[in-house]
Amino acid sequence: MKIHLKHYLVGLCAVALPAMAQTLLPQPQQVEWKKGNFNWQKPYRLECRQTVAETSAPVQQWLPAKAVTAETKRVVILEKGNPAWNDEAYQLYVSADTVKVCAKNEAGFIAARATLAQLTADGQQTRAVMISDSPAYRYRGAMLDVSRHFYPIEFVKKQVDLLARYKFNRLHLHLTDAAGWRMEIKRYPRLTELAAWRTDSLWKTWWDGERKYVEEGTPGAYGGYYTQRELRDLVDYALERGITIIPEIEMPAHSEEVLTAYPCLSCTHEPYKQADFCPGSISTYDFLENVLKEVMDVFPSAYIHVGGDEAAKASWPTCPRCQAKMKELGTTDVNDLQTHLIAHMGRFLKSHGRTLIGWDEVIDGNLEKGTTVMVWRGLENATRAAAHGYDVILSPGAYCYIDAYQDSPADQPEAMGAYLPLKKVYSFVPGENLSPAHRAHIVGVQANLWTEHVPSAAHAEYMMWPRLLAISEIGWNGTKYKDYDEFHQRAVNETQYLRANGVNAFDLKKEKGDRVQSAIKHKAVGATVIWNKKYHRSYPGNGPTTLTDGKLGGWNYGDKPWLGFLGKDCFDVTIDLGKVQSISEVGADFLQCTGPWIYFPGTFTISASEDGKTYKTLFEKKNPDKNFPYYKTEWWSWKGKAKARYIRLQGDPVVHGGWIFVDEIIVK
């Protein structure tokens, strides 16, 4: 394929970095630095060997425009690599008078071009080096959610350029969800006339309100969609840069917008009532197949993502069509309806030469061989997928959900929750605890930016960069060697580069880091905890000793020092100090993060007893207000004078169904 890049990477190299060690990110597999530089401002001749004119076009068109003379001894050589090489492998040799690039095909030359761009930081000279390089994983992706908040096509192209610089090869677009349908489907115009537009620009306001859709052109309507022409242009733009666009069309859940525009596809046939397609209706399958036909016509990607996550299935048990379909399938389990629908779509895509990819909820389906599962929950789901023989892309929330806070929450824009700094992303080791046989099914990694709390393009960049640099490093270089300090310096350099070139990246130089987690000495350290209500199995902290181990938690509620409690009157523990003694202060350290429904208690009581039978209330606090800061820790305590052996602390969530998180009970 002949491509025309018009030297776009030269523009990316225009700003020189300060004098420092050369930045390469991701780090190539093998690098040997040499003395000297190749000066592109001096004449050179171009030599293409073994008919590489088309496959080497990415490098040829990157080369700075300079008079080329046949007489000069300075030469740029483009050469075919070993046929046995990985498709994206390349070798690069640079000296004062020679630049030689070897690659098997176009993908390898595209990877070499990205390295040359970083080596030529000032746009004029390339540092002398020998590089032998190939990717650790064949799939290196980033996902952008354009449903919750819609971003212009030019912004998406800008991100494609950045992804190419760091050797990503997939951009996954989350095109459909309750918040808005974002792709023109000519057969179903109501998807863009109605389902692409809502009443409020901010997702949070809309979601917490009436969740209404409005007709295109309504004053104040928020939304938008990409025409098929725009998307075809984006696909071509990305392919020129070595990136495949993967479209995602959600099914059977996250489809409120579709089922309002076309309510006949739901179980109740009522708009604004359903989130899940009706898997018992033939109309559902016709609709989804027709949509996917248009999707496949626009996107040449071998992978087509069908979502498959978080289906509530609320109406399926009572829907006559669903019940009839279950009888036909010979099952009494409504979960088998989703299995059937996803398997049906897998066969449909395979018949068109494509491969289904879905979130890890699709694992249990009777899916086609070659199906790929994107694991976002626990690593056990990677094991299950691999046991089925499916390929696995790892995208675990703990490391790859970059909608979380990347620094001290008090200093950051509102985020979805948790705390995911660059260091935590970099620490990710794909398949670390899997068996070698199961690890062999891991084909790649992906970071996801869900955009519930990301209302602008500038904010989206802020959340992506520089954390995507860590995913780039993991996906390309691998995780055999880990040195965060060394990586951090390269990431700081790249962040400088990005910010100097108009990218709204988070400034790593100003990073404050995690909440201080110093050890605390107090009377309850090591004391026995009597669990009147036990912590939730999903957030067990460090186990039974967590509340009296003298350790405070950081900003991430998923870290070990935090215990999670769920349900009405869920927090109820008694501390046994071992003997009656004088006390002057008792308190607990609580965390609030309202995105995942973690709240300070609605009521909180501290009582004390000398015999474990008769208790006296020392402290009681009522908290009727749900509008606390989005992310905060607070110390709630009693101070005074008392004698006690047993101290009981009780609390319930301020929101029904919410969580309480505690890291330490301190007694002085």
Q: Are residues 482 and 567 in the same domain?
A: no
Q: Are residues 367 and 489 in the same domain?
A: yes
As a whole number, mean pLDDT of residues 363-380 equals 85
Q: Looking at residue 8, what is its pLDDT? A: 33
Q: Are residues 401 and 424 in the same domain?
A: yes
* pLDDT at 7 exceeding the cut of 60: no
* pLDDT at 627 exceeding the cut of 70: no
N residues, the chain: 668
* pLDDT at 22 exceeding the cut of 70: no
- What residues make up the domain containing 33? 8-133
| Choice among 87-96, 365-374, 388-397, 498-507 with the minimum mean pLDDT | 365-374
CATH number at residue 387: 3.20.20.80
CATH number at residue 606: 2.60.120.260
Whether residue 21 is contained in a domain is answered as yes
As a whole number, mean pLDDT of residues 6-10 equals 34
pLDDT bracket for residue 52 (50, 70, 90): confident
pLDDT bracket for residue 55 (50, 70, 90): confident
C-alpha 321/C-alpha 337 separation (Å) is 11
C-alpha 562/C-alpha 571 separation (Å) is 13
Task: Encode pLDDT of 236-294 as tens digits.
Answer: 999 999 999 999 999 999 999 999 999 999 999 999 999 999 999 999 999 999 999 99
Whether residue 334 is contained in a domain is answered as no
Whether residue 517 is contained in a domain is answered as no
Amino acid identity of 548? T
Task: Encode pLDDT of 302-333 as tens digits.
Answer: 999 999 999 999 999 999 999 999 999 999 99
Q: Which two tokens stand for residue 140?
A: 């290196």
Q: Are residues 189 and 151 in the same domain?
A: yes
Q: Looking at residue 594, what is its pLDDT? A: 82
Beta strand 98-103 with 90-94: parallel, antiparallel or unpaired? Answer: antiparallel
Of 86, 113, 133, the one marking the end of a domain is: 133
135 half-sphere exposure, CB direction, 13 A CA radius: 25
How crowded is residue 613: how many other Cβ atoms within 10 Å of its Cβ? 7
Between 389 and 172, name the one with better pLDDT: 172
Whether residue 535 is contained in a domain is answered as yes
Total structural domains within the chain: 3
Closest CA to 616 of 590, 588, 586: 586
Of 80, 98, 133, the one marking the end of a domain is: 133
Q: Which two tokens stand for residue 637?
A: 């305590």
Q: Looking at residue 176, what is its pLDDT? A: 98
Task: Encode pLDDT of 104-148 as tens digits.
Answer: 999 999 999 999 999 997 778 999 999 999 999 999 999 999 999
Q: Are residues 575 and 636 in the same domain?
A: yes
Q: Compute the mean pLDDT over every residue in the chain, rounded to the nearest whole number.
A: 91
Whether residue 333 is contained in a domain is answered as no
Q: Are residues 583 and 624 in the same domain?
A: yes
Residues with active-site annotation: 177, 254, 310
pLDDT bracket for residue 520 (50, 70, 90): confident
Burial 626-637 (b: 16+ CB within 10 A, else e): eeeebbebeebb
* pLDDT at 667 exceeding the cut of 70: yes
Q: Any idea which residue has 């509530």 for tokens?
A: 312
Whether residue 266 is contained in a domain is answered as no
Whether residue 388 is contained in a domain is answered as yes
Q: Are residues 124 and 147 in the same domain?
A: no
Q: Are residues 115 and 146 in the same domain?
A: no
Q: Are residues 116 and 252 in the same domain?
A: no
Whether residue 354 is contained in a domain is answered as no
Cis-peptide, bond into residue 252, ω within 30° of zero: yes
* pLDDT at 6 exceeding the cut of 60: no
Q: Are residues 144 and 129 in the same domain?
A: no
C-alpha 190/C-alpha 650 separation (Å) is 52
